[in-house]
Amino acid sequence: MKIMVVGGGGREHAIIKKLKENKEVEKIYALPGNGGIAEDAECVDIKATDIEGIVKFAVHNGIDYAVVAPDDPLVLGCVDALNYEGIPCFGPRSSAAMIEGSKVFAKDLMKKYGIPTAKYETFDNAEDALAYVEKAPLPTVVKADGLALGKGVIIANTRAEAEEAVRAIMEDKRFGKSGDRVVIEEFLTGPEVSVLSFTDGVTVVPMISSMDHKRAHDGDEGLNTGGMGTVAPNPYYTAVVAAECMEKIFLPTVKAMNAEGRTFKGCLYFGLMITKDGPKVIEYNCRFGDPETQVVLPLLKTDLLTVMQATTNGELDKIKVEFSDRHACCVIAASDGYPEHYEKGFEITLPEDKTGVYVAGAKLKDGRLVTSGGRVLGVTRVSDTLQDAIKAAYDAIKTVKFENMYYRTDIGKRALQAKEK
Ligand code: AMP
Ligand code: GLY
């Protein structure tokens, strides 16, 4: 089988490495992939947002199955366009990707179908939004409606900050058209849990839970990033919480999407907060999370391609999806200064054992791997205990070398503390 994976980050590298375990897979193309992915797939210089280019490539190269991993091509209709040419794909169509593409849509969906989430108001003009934040309870959370590279959420502790957030998003258009509308919502507290799931529009198969570390620095200080590390499973996601999520969140969401004529097939990601009133949805993503995928897929025991195809074919109820009962930890090595300004172009030395090494921001220059992005790579290690997985991931990351390398030193610490309680 010839497979095409659209995207070029650590998540895509993890997907590709897992797909390669299937003996039927003869060839994997990555569009565009990256310098590290080039070890495991043939990288093709076509941007993940170039839908026309992707479709042309797939048709000309006889692609048997495609995996569209990032949010933008999904929202732009990459799966619709590939399906139109008869190419089966893993990922939702554009109408269903809206669950991530518009926060206003997602919030209204949850309200309409009684799915627990933070209380909110939506605004399509700055004047009304500004008037609202004058009286909203503090802290308050201001979110740009559309995709904003994970940066469109501002937690405002004061009225001045809330006002500034509304102006930045709606007037200065810091996130472009994504800020034509905003959601302003109640601030929730509690541990966060990420649950990725496979769904074919009827059956929902939650994957093993995970915990992301979004802030740039130790102790959850600093700016929000794409994610600086992950562990799986997440100790806050107990069997009781899982059952409540399935009943009140997962199945109702899939049913709601069907009722809206937007059947979701692919990986539906639930960003949850376990509040004192039970689990609530913080956000939906229409795709695998990054770097959650880098700890979830190494624990998947069932063949990934089989699960993906069952998802596409509406046959998830016919297979058993199993996860290992071990633990995984992924530590991200970033360029110092990320998520703001950082230098790139430095040569990278990778660990000797490349299992669990997932490259994100790197390219090949004269045959050498050099840094080309903020998050450069992640290293995942799997072990019988969380403690050992964390230690092994840090032992491995210490063997990675590039100038200006930065990583958090406390990935998994909170999870360990929670387990000890
Ligand atoms: P998002 O991009 O929606 O995942 O939001 C980024 C981060 O902001 C989340 O992981 C939470 O830590 C935080 N956040 C978002 N919404 C809320 C909320 N209503 N209350 C508290 N924290 C929030
Ligand atoms: N790690 C969170 C995300 O992929 O959006």
Strand bridging mode 65-68 / 2-7 = parallel
Question: Atom 14 (ligand 1): residue with closest C-alpha?
Answer: 282
Instruction: Give the pLDDT band (50/70/90) at residue 420.
Output: confident
The rounded distance, in Å, linking the Cα atoms of 200 and 332 is 31
The rounded distance, in Å, linking the Cα atoms of 262 and 213 is 31
Ligand 1 mean position, distance from CA 150 (Å):
10
The pLDDT, as a whole number, for residue 165 is: 93
Pocket test for ligand 1, best of 282, 287, 290 (most atoms within 8 A of CB): 282
130 & 155 share domain:
yes
Which of 285, 318, 351 is the last residue in one of the domains?
A: 318
User: How many independent structural domains does the chain possess?
Assistant: 4
Regarding the beta carbon of 153 and ligand 1, being less than 6 Å apart is answered yes
Which of 301, 318, 335 is the last residue in one of the domains?
A: 318
Residue 132, in any domain of the structure: yes
Q: How much is the average pLDDT of 358-379? A: 97
351 & 241 share domain:
no
Pick the atom of ligand 2 nearest to 11's CA. 4
197 & 314 share domain:
yes
Residue 6 belongs to what domain range?
Answer: 2-94
Instruction: Name the residue type at position 92.
Output: P
The rounded distance, in Å, linking the Cα atoms of 66 and 308 is 10
284 & 388 share domain:
no
Pocket test for ligand 2, best of 149, 209, 212 (most atoms within 8 A of CB): 212
Ligand 1 mean position, distance from CA 354 (Å):
33
Pick the atom of ligand 1 nearest to 118's CA. 19
The rounded distance, in Å, linking the Cα atoms of 267 and 287 is 5
Residue 15, in any domain of the structure: yes
Instruction: Name residue, tokens 């042309």.
Output: 56
Residue 248, in any domain of the structure: yes
Task: For 261-313, write each residue's pLDDT tens digit.
Answer: 999 999 999 999 999 999 999 999 999 999 999 999 999 999 999 999 999 99
CA-closest candidate to residue 40, choices 21, 65, 23, 63: 21
304 & 387 share domain:
no
Residue 358, in any domain of the structure: yes
Regarding the beta carbon of 118 and ligand 1, being less than 6 Å apart is answered yes
331 & 313 share domain:
no
C-alpha angle 145-209-411 in degrees, rounded to nearest 5:
85
Residue 107, in any domain of the structure: no
Pocket test for ligand 1, best of 100, 102, 153 (most atoms within 8 A of CB): 153
Residue 103, in any domain of the structure: no
Residue 384, in any domain of the structure: yes
CATH number at residue 16: 3.40.50.20
Average pLDDT, the chain: 96
The pLDDT, as a whole number, for residue 421 is: 73
Task: For 85-138, write each residue's pLDDT tens digit.
Answer: 999 999 999 999 999 999 999 999 999 999 999 999 999 999 999 999 999 999
Pick the atom of ligand 2 nearest to 289's CA. 4
Regarding the beta carbon of 150 and ligand 2, being less than 6 Å apart is answered yes
Pick the atom of ligand 1 nearest to 188's CA. 20
Residue 8, in any domain of the structure: yes
CA-closest candidate to residue 299, choices 371, 222, 232: 232
Which of 46, 72, 94 is the last residue in one of the domains?
A: 94
Ligand 2 mean position, distance from CA 59 (Å):
30
